[in-house]
Chains A and B, each alone.
Chain A
Amino acid sequence: MTVSPTEPRLTKATRSPLLAVAGLAVKFEVDGDTHTAVRDASFALHRGQVLALVGESGSGKSVTAMAALGLLPATARVSGSITLAGTELIGAEPSLLRDVRGGQIGTIFQEPMTALNPVFTIGDQVAEAIRAHRPVTHSAANARVLELLATVGLDDPARVARSYPHELSGGQLQRAMIAMAISCDPLLLIADEPTTALDVTVQAGILDLLRDLRTRLDMAVLLITHDMGVVADVADDVVVLRDGQIVEQALAAQLFAAPRHEYTRALLHAVPTLPELRLDEPEPATPPAHEPRPLDNAAATTPVVLLRNVVVDYPGRRRGRPVRAVDDVSLHIDQGELVALVGESGSGKSTLGRALAGLVPVTAGTVTVAGIEVGNASRRELRAFRSQLGIVFQDPASSLNPRRTVGASIAEPLSLHTDLRGDAQRRRVDELLDAVELPSRLRDRHPYEMSGGQRQRVAIARAIALNPALLIADEPTSALDVSVQARILELLRSLQSQFGFSCLFISHDLAVVEQLADRVAVLHRGRVVEEGPANDVLRAPRHPYTSRLLAAAPVADPAQQALRRAAWRQLTSASS
């Protein structure tokens, strides 16, 4: 333990804590071996306080949170104590736990896509959470659901309520999850990476909402996040975890100002930074540059990816009208170019990525990749093209087969397209695991036995296994802490310089985009509203939406972030 008892505390510290974790240890049994995920963790959380749990991916943040709810899988052994307002939760009666869950503790799970039941509508599932703890009528619950969905910034609450999980984008699901978690005005909100799938504008809204809830309801928030910007924005206290152990515990302001532990310093150091925001009015919008950039040195290469007027509709259910996810998008990616796709949640980014891989049919327009028209390709052509393709899905949890070990998943492209087998294959898998900062002992685990960030890295490892010519990466670092993220980004960059692949990089993290991208395309409601060299777009946005986006991006400095917040407020109110 590095926390000294003489730690300075907020004034509230005199009150007895709402949530007190003492000496918590969690062990998992994996195939007869015992793996310790959390050891001797102690911290306290008071009402009206936001405690940020930060740390490396796989350091035990989610496990700690789940332990409080008694929701760890049966293979977990929990010891220590967790009390909620004085009541012990570890080993508590089911009826007590039931009351606590949902009623006193609301939970936002890390991976919203698998955390929602695929066979019930969103509306159903949120209403159920309300009705589990409040004696309200069906219609009252439904009305409240719509209200909640609107609160979390969903444009069309009625449609979202009617939708099944598979019909929504990652960010929409995440917000539905948040709506569900706060539906019963809990005393404590456990928010496990609540904004990973959200673009910064929406994220800012959600953070505002959390702040509001905190002040209004005196709600405590246990915020798990890797985004130091978010920490800077809302957290009062910060607990830094590493490898299952708490390495530092401090007031947020203090931590950012003077991190004491070496790991914390490294963490903060790794935070990518955005250029200074120009808070003046955006320049008059010029039409987005659709025509390809003039090529530098006459290497008359045709672009690797060429989208022409692509439209993607999702067929509506039963009587509903089809949903237009992508609307008349034209885009190209040149050889060795990294194009970032940013945009509001639900604007069609993932859909576009999938269309590119030929996984959703395009309603109109053409998608050409390496000279092959994806829509009309023969099976053989498609296979050939896909052997050159790496793809990281937005939701790593569901993109890994639950029944196969991650080693097998990573080895899959190797088995498919190379004749690497046996030991050689295993060595290659280990290399890949190492490249994404995962210990090779995780090779024989199943996705279920890993943390969110670990799964995401497995997905990345799989995508780069063949050194693809084209990489489609849908929020590939959303679940990664900044230090790991930095290394992954570096990996991508070095791979790119080595193999020169093209990349469609979907992200909501503008700082990352800034670091990595050659070009940026901004998607808004299915349309590309702005496109250009990364530097231009991020420094001198022409479209108001882009400006808003930039303004909303948090930075890892509480003082500066407060300024930005104010600026963002001003911008949003101006544009509305």
Chain B
Amino acid sequence: NPDVTPDAGGSTGGTEKGGTLTILNAASDINFDPAKSQNLAITTLGLVLRRLTTWEVQPGKAAQVVPDLATDTGKTTDGGKTWTFTLKDGLKYADGAAITAADVKYGIERSFAPELSGGLGYHKSLLVGGAEYKGPYSGADLASVETPDAKTIVFHLKTAYGDWPWIASMPAFTPVPKAKDDPKKYSQNPVASGPYQVESYQQGVSVKLSRNPNWDTTTDQVRTAGPDNIVFQLGQDTTVQSQRLIADSGDDRSAFGAGFVAPAQLAQIEQNASAKQRLVTSDAGALSYLAINTQRGPLKDVKVRQAIEYAVDKRAYQVASGGAIGGDLASTLITPGIAGRVDYNLYPADPSGDVAKAKQLLTEAGQSSLKLTLLSENDQPSLAKSQAIQQGLQRAGITVTIKPVDEEAWTAEVSGDKGDYDLTVASWQPDFPSANGNIQPLFASSEIGGGGYNSARYSQPEVDALIEQATAETDPAKAQALWAQADKRILQDAPVVPLTYTKNSFLHGSKVQNFFVPAFPAYPNYLKVSLKQG
């Protein structure tokens, strides 16, 4: 194929153009509405929709925030309270219309509409007036987003926020032309600004993307746009997916699975040389942890929680998540791959725990026969992990009852106000690669209940103050030091047991190239995948 353009990064070889890439998806629906999407910058939506900034993710390198529609990643003049972005020249939608700053503003505004809730909404509480704003459909506009001219957009924040450039990479920062906005249909038929547009959308069956004729490669440094067409096959059973990819025949050679390969299949792939070659495992990324409900009975006692830190059998947990390929043992809250992480271990023990120590701590706390409930999601992998925890604690005389509930109920319990559980196993991948994303959502007291993810229901004024201070810090180095300090401080209270830094494995067909999975985010970078031609 003559149409080979050398890739800027170069580390994964050139990008061949052409072919139809198939992405196998377990979900039965893809929501292309930027206001409602929680997509990462480098996955599905990134193929169709551009934002102010985006992520440059390369194998072996930490994720970087880079300009997308904007010429840079935003400028601030007042220490992070006001951010200004300028759009590049010659940007067009698929229909040929020009992309304007007003469209970006409109896109942000509509993300405030209750009709379109559901997306990533970090900006909603940061922007001035955001808390009260109810979207553009009632006629009002959001004054804190200014568009002095067609190319410039200015954000006024309530407080200084150093990670705003990351926020600007979220789906809500996609331009939406007001004239084309039909909130009912936008999720299936968005106005494309990226290299692909939605050609056909069949709910539950497939989504076909084809090239956007008006996308200009020169304005875009992150998307390589290799395949001519991309087809998402929806509602695919994960086991069948894996088998198709292992078999690697026909069109499946140009396919990859969007979901993790399950441990059972990992073992199978181990034994299959061809498939093993096509398995891509991320570096250790998201944190999986055991949350201890700090507001419940004996668990209020820090000694008891520390006993649990020692009693947990991390090795069994690791095996339950697929062994070494499933993740590395964890001891900190900030995950590898996040700038400023400091490695330490407050509760040093053998990988399978220190039962004697745990028992001793329990005796000190006066707890001889502890009975706890562990809330677990009811899918097989989650239950396997929960059982590994249960088994570990049992050794120290802690009787754990597993309460399996479905995923939605789990979310509701964990992020709801009641908090009717003692323990739960969770895993957290921040929405943007900053220690802030590691710590704040999980440990700030403001995140207890009401939809927040502080599943340990941990409330420590000292930590809250640290978080506030670190969030406002615009100097990356200083901020990172503060986050590392918070990390350690939190673990002293033992609200969670860090279990593993998980690794996600993905399988792709033999024709798929430039397929890699970084530590953050531990997902394949859709934007650079291409197909071998000929």
Establish whether A and B are touching in the complex (CB under 8 Å).
no
